[in-house]
Amino acid sequence: MSSPFSLEGKVSLVTGASYGIGFSIASALAEAGSVIVFNDINQSLVDKGLEAYKAFGVNAHGYVCDVTDEAAVYDFIAAIEREVGAVDVLVNNAGIIMRVPMTEMSAADFRKVIDVDLNAPFIVSKAVIPSMIKRGGGKIINICSMMSELGRETVSAYAAAKGGLKMLTKNIASEYGAFNIQCNGIGPGYIETPQTAPLREIQKDGSRHPFDKFIISKTPAARWGVADDLKGPAVFLASSASDFVNGQVLYVDGGILAYIGKQP
Ligand code: NAP
Ligand code: GCO
């Protein structure tokens, strides 16, 4: 009997997935039976990714593509269709953060974060939706954030982008749900990846970073997440197990959003 979580016969594209959360998600989709395609912004990152997938036992297809470049994205999607097959599952994972107080942030930097974290998921989704419609459906998973719900000092652009990505998720679900396209988000909590390494840096006196201590106290699970914590939720949202789930963000945060925080 075939499992509702099986991705046999599917082609999944995970953007920016040479390492970190994207790599873990793509590995999980491969374990569920999917063919994996990923991209990154330069050849050395793609090569690093190809090696990591090979060591994991996955024969992934890696491409160089900047997801903010609409013309390059259209060429990339056409190349995938020619060389691998049409995309059944898209995971918009590529993302950047700049931690700068808002009044010190240039408008150019603000736009750059919005471009990668919000405009690019629009561009890549737009490029795969017509073929999903033609083939009777598809899955889009947008990697959102705690900052889709919460603010904090220094992350105005990132929070604006990830809040926008939550609403883009709901809108894709609204606009294309009738074509059997499910678009959902995953909202990771604080996950140990290169993106959050500066928040976990050991201090000169050997003590833990104050933000590291703050996150552990704010997380009911009392730990940072690891990228592999996103594997199960990703397989669920990519598979037919979630065929009537649309426009939701599944927060995978060890309970952060449920918790008011420890009394000082
Ligand atoms: P990461 O370690 O920085 O990986 C992000 C990947 O995206 C990198 O490979 C990066 O390449 C790539 N990328 C950046 N800009 C790109 C572009 N224009 N075109 C193609 N690829 C691009 O981040 P992560 O922590 O794994 O995060 C993955 C996603 O999860 C992001 O959307 C992030 O915002 C989100 N997220 C992370 C956390 C967390 O705690 N780590 C929590 C919630 C949400 P470079 O190495 O060249 O930058
Ligand atoms: C920060 C963090 C985050 C996270 C993540 C939380 O500086 O607060 O980098 O924003 O990485 O997106 O879900």
Give the atom of ligand 2 at the shortest distance from the alpha carbon of 253: 13
- Residue 91 forms part of a structural domain: yes
The pLDDT value recorded for residue 263 is: 87
The total of structural domains in the chain comes to 1
209 CB-near residues (< 8 Å, 6+ apart): 199, 200, 201, 202, 203
For residue 2, the CA-to-ligand 1 centroid distance in Å is 33
Residue 109 contacts residue 154 (beta carbons within 8 Å):
no
- Residue 65 forms part of a structural domain: yes
| Annotation marks residue 190 as catalytic | no
Q: Ligand 2: which of 93, 100, 145 to mutate, most ligand atoms within 8 Å of CB?
A: 145
Q: Ligand 1: which of 14, 18, 21 to mutate, most ligand atoms within 8 Å of CB?
A: 21
CATH code, domain carrying 125: 3.40.50.720
Give the atom of ligand 1 at the shortest distance from the alpha carbon of 69: 18
- Residue 107 forms part of a structural domain: yes
For residue 227, the CA-to-ligand 2 centroid distance in Å is 13
Determine the structural domain holding residue 140 and report its residue range: 11-191+226-258
The distance from CA 23 to its chain's CA centroid, rounded to whole angstroms, is 10
Strand bridging mode 35-40 / 181-188: unpaired
Residue 37 contacts residue 84 (beta carbons within 8 Å):
yes
Q: Ligand 2: which of 144, 162, 190, 200 to mutate, most ligand atoms within 8 Å of CB?
A: 190
pLDDT, tens digit only, all 264 positions of the chain: 689 999 999 999 999 999 999 999 999 999 999 999 999 999 999 999 999 999 999 999 999 999 999 999 999 999 999 999 999 999 999 999 999 999 999 999 999 999 999 999 999 999 999 999 999 999 999 999 999 999 999 999 999 999 999 999 999 999 999 999 999 999 999 999 999 999 999 999 999 999 999 999 999 999 999 999 999 999 999 999 999 999 999 999 999 999 999 888
For residue 134, the CA-to-ligand 1 centroid distance in Å is 30
- Residue 120 forms part of a structural domain: yes
Residue 195 contacts residue 154 (beta carbons within 8 Å):
no
Q: d(Cα 254, Cα 223) in Å, to the nearest integer?
A: 8
- Residue 200 forms part of a structural domain: no
Residue 80 contacts residue 37 (beta carbons within 8 Å):
yes
- Which protein residues are within 6 Å of ligand 2, measured from CB? 97, 99, 145-147, 152, 155, 158, 188-190, 195-196, 199
- Residue 204 forms part of a structural domain: no
- Residue 251 forms part of a structural domain: yes
Q: d(Cα 121, Cα 35) in Å, to the nearest integer?
A: 21
Cβ of 141 below 6 Å from ligand 1: no
Residue 146 contacts residue 187 (beta carbons within 8 Å):
yes
Q: d(Cα 132, Cα 112) in Å, to the nearest integer?
A: 29
Ligand 1 atom 27: the closest Cα is on which residue? Answer: 21
User: What is the reported pTM?
Assistant: 0.98
- Residue 203 forms part of a structural domain: no
